[in-house]
């Protein structure tokens, strides 16, 4: 419980390779973390991968906290900076769906 006496919401960080295609495994892993439906999904918001996890989560009525990379400001380092930002949010668990040795998803995990 936080200092206000209120229970904090469980936070589930997700990182997904752009080439991930095993949606059944993803759905099952997310379902294990769903709990009472109050958990927040922490996502980098990448169009391929992360947003697929977001669609599953929001399809169940869940909340997403998106951390998009600022490519314009940080250039090629933007993805890694975003990943570090997500890790720094102190999620309760990280679900990593890694395919083809994905640098971005592996970096977050």
Q: At what angle do helices 50-59 and 23-34 cross, to 10 degrees?
A: 50
Decide which of 25 and 4 is more confident: 25
What are residue 99's phi and psi, to 5 degrees?
A: -135, 145
When computed from its CA atoms, the radius of gyration of the chain, rounded to whole angstroms, is 14
Contacts of 106 (CB under 8 A, 6+ apart): 96, 98
Per the structure, the complete domain to which residue 38 belongs is given by: 22-108
**Within a domain: residue 16?**
no
Domain membership flag for residue 68: yes
Predicted confidence at residue 1, as pLDDT, reads: 44
Task: Name the band, by pLDDT with cuts 50, 70 and 90, for residue 41.
Answer: very high
Whether 7 maps to a domain, the answer reads no
* Three-class SS state of 14: strand
Residue 3 lies in a domain: no
- Provide the whole-model pTM: 0.84
- How many independent structural domains does the chain possess? 1
Residue whose entry in the numeric block shows the structure tokens 């102190």: 90
Q: 53-99: per-residue pLDDT in tens?
A: 999 999 999 999 999 999 999 999 998 899 999 999 999 999 989 76
């Amino acid at each position: 419980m936080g200092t206000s006496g209120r229970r904090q919401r469980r936070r589930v960080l997700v990182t997904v390779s752009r080439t991930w295609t095993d949606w059944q495994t993803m759905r099952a892993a997310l379902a294990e973390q769903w709990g009472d439906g109050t958990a927040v999904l922490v996502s980098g918001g990448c169009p391929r991968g992360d947003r697929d996890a977001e669609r599953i989560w929001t399809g169940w009525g869940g909340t997403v906290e998106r951390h998009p990379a600022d490519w314009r400001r940080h250039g090629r380092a933007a993805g890694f900076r975003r990943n570090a930002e997500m890790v720094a949010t102190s999620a309760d668990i990280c679900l990593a769906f890694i395919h083809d040795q994905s640098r971005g998803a592996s970096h977050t995990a």
